[in-house]
Each structure stands twice: as structure tokens, then as C-alpha cells.
Chain A
Amino acid sequence: MTRVVVNLPQRARRGEIIEIRTLAGHAMETGFRRTQLGELVPRDIITRFTCSYNGVEVFSAELHPAVAANPLIAFSTVATESGTLEFRWTGDNGYVATHTASIAVD
């Protein structure tokens, strides 16, 4: 399931600090849990999140097994110019999720 929720203002003033909040649907299996029969449940987590603003990376995060399921990543950035923000999550077993959002900067 590659459902994501991204929340950011549609408009901002030049130089304004904007808050971006993201949710990614992912079980974030730690790799430390065992089944009722004692078998190890293999690790399956999101490992990296990046946000690019008009092609320039403005935020990135490395995620580890300690991060809970459906991780909420909230960060801020400076609204410099109108354009596109691209969000990308990558993880184990070829997991990739992307989202694109536009912002109008006055």
C-alpha cells in the first residue's frame, strides 16, 4: 500500500517559513518480532525520505526500525519561489512512494 498524506499551505509569502507534514502508510516491521511459532518476521521498513523543492533537496531523513508504523514526518522549509515540491519515500523490498505538490509564492 503506497498511500501517503501530505499537508502544506498552497500559498505563502516569499521568505515565509512553512510547515510541511507527511504521513506514509507503512507497517514498519522492525525485524525483531517473532511469530507464534518462533519464526523471525523479516525487517520491512521505510529507510529514506527526501523532499525536493524545484529540484533542490531541502529535507531528508534516514529511518530506522525504531520508527513506528505509518510514520509522521513533519518539517519546515523557507518558501523561496513558486513551484513544485516532490516527496519520495524508499525502503526495503523495493518500496517506493512519491507525491508531488505545488506551492504559489508571492
Chain B
Amino acid sequence: MLLALACSARAEIPLAERRSGYADMSPQTRAMQDDDAINPATLWVLDGEALWMRKAGAAGLACADCHRNARESMKGAAARHPAFDASTGTILNLEGRINRCRTERQQEKPLAYESRELLALTAFVARQSRGLPIDVESSARTRPLLEAGRAAFRRRQGQLDLACAHCHDERAGKRLAGTLIPQGHPTAYPVYRLEWQAVGSLHRRLRNCLVGIRAEPHALGAREYIELELYLMWRARGMPLEAPGVRP
């Protein structure tokens, strides 16, 4: 069935009407997220804390050697990423920033997306920003990348010829095959997804979205995902970070 819908010129969801996926979950799943003692992502956070202290690379440096106590030094970091990196002149997400430290400072190989170590480190770093409002930079230097992300969000793709906006702006709150369509804010990433029975990154989820509309998915860590990530975080600006959260 061809969906002959034009992507309407309707603007983003009004700020006051934005809902995190948390509000759409069952009370039991919400209880899992709210309590660190039973949130399965805590297993990754603890692994991340161990990695934070471990010396690595030719430089023999641990994250802690430069950044000291993550509770203070990493507070707000996850809420500000993807962030502009002056040395490369482009934006880096949290994974990219961690890998830059690994290659430039620790002189160590970068960690692969969805590897246990990278997920543990991002979960640990993101945990230090829990509760803080999402606040990514929207200025002259990030605007072109933000616009690229917004264009990707509104672009029809795939065999099903759908744009992200069709479901997550226009039909959020309605149902697709019985499942409630969320607004799609990245407030809980990296997230413990019950479907994955593991912690995963936003890029993993975005890949699943593209596969779902039968579009060719990009490689994890691709520029297209990072631009979209910047736009999604800007779209969720002001909403509190729940990372690492739990989702169905």
C-alpha cells in the first residue's frame, strides 16, 4: 500500500507537549528505571566505573588520571553532547569524544560501537548527568549540522517512503500495529532495552528505525547518525536526561 502523504509543513511538537518515552511505559518498567538497584543498566555503569580507573594505552593513562572524580568532572557532559569539537571543526557525540580521548591522550585504539567497553563508559559518563536538562549548542557553527539532522528527520526514506516526522511528529501518541508511537526523544540513552536484553546506543536504535522502514541503514557511528543525534537532542532540549534508562 502506497502512503500518499506529503510531509506537512507543521513545525516540531510544541515544547510544552513533549513527552519522554518514560511516560508511555508501564509502571513496572518505570520502576526498573527509577531504582539503580534493579536497573539492569547499573551492571554496565559499574563496569564503566572500573574502566574509568583502569590505565590504558601506550600513555598508560586512566580516564581518572586527567578527569579525576567523574561525579564532578563529567556532570553535564552527556547533556551537552553531541558537541562542537574545535580541533576537528565538527561535532562529536559522547562515543566520539571518548574515542578521541582514547586515541589522542591514552594512545590506545578506539572502542567499537556497541562493544561492552564503549557502552559501559558511555553509560557511566551519561549517568553523571542524570536529571540535568538536555542542552546542546545551537549556534552559527552547529547550525549547518543541526539543519542536516532536521532535513534527515523530515526526509522520506526507504521502501515504505516514510520520514521520521510522519510517525514521531505527526502521529506520536497514536498506534502502529498495536504499539504506542513515542515522540522519539533520546532522553534515556544509552538505554537498557528489554527487547535487546542489553544496553545499546542511540545509533543502534536509529539503525533499527531505518531497517523498519526498509531503508539502507548507515554504519554505526556514521556522520548521518551524529547529525540526526544532534537534531534529536536539540528537539529534546530542556527535557531531563534519564540515562541510562530502561525501555521496552
Contact = CB atoms under 8 A, between A and B. Distances in A.
Contacts of B43: 1, 3-5, 23, 25, 70
B198 A5 contact: no
B38 A23 contact: yes
Contact of B198 (A4, A69, A72, A74): A69
Q: Is the interface of B mostly helix, strand, loop or mixed?
A: mixed
B197 A27 contact: yes
Chain A interface size range = 10 to 19
A54 interface: no
B37 A70 contact: no
Interface size class of chain B, counting residues whose CB lies under 8 Å from the partner chain: 10 to 19
B116 A5 contact: no
A7 interface: yes
Interface string B22-48: 000000000000000110101100110
A3 B37 contact: no
A40 interface: no
Contacts of A27: 197-198
B38 A1 contact: no
A21 interface: yes
A41 interface: no
Interface of A: 1, 3-5, 7, 21, 23, 25, 27-28, 68-70, 72, 74
Closest 7 CB pairs of A and B: A69-B197, A7-B37, A25-B43, A70-B40, A3-B43, A5-B42, A21-B37
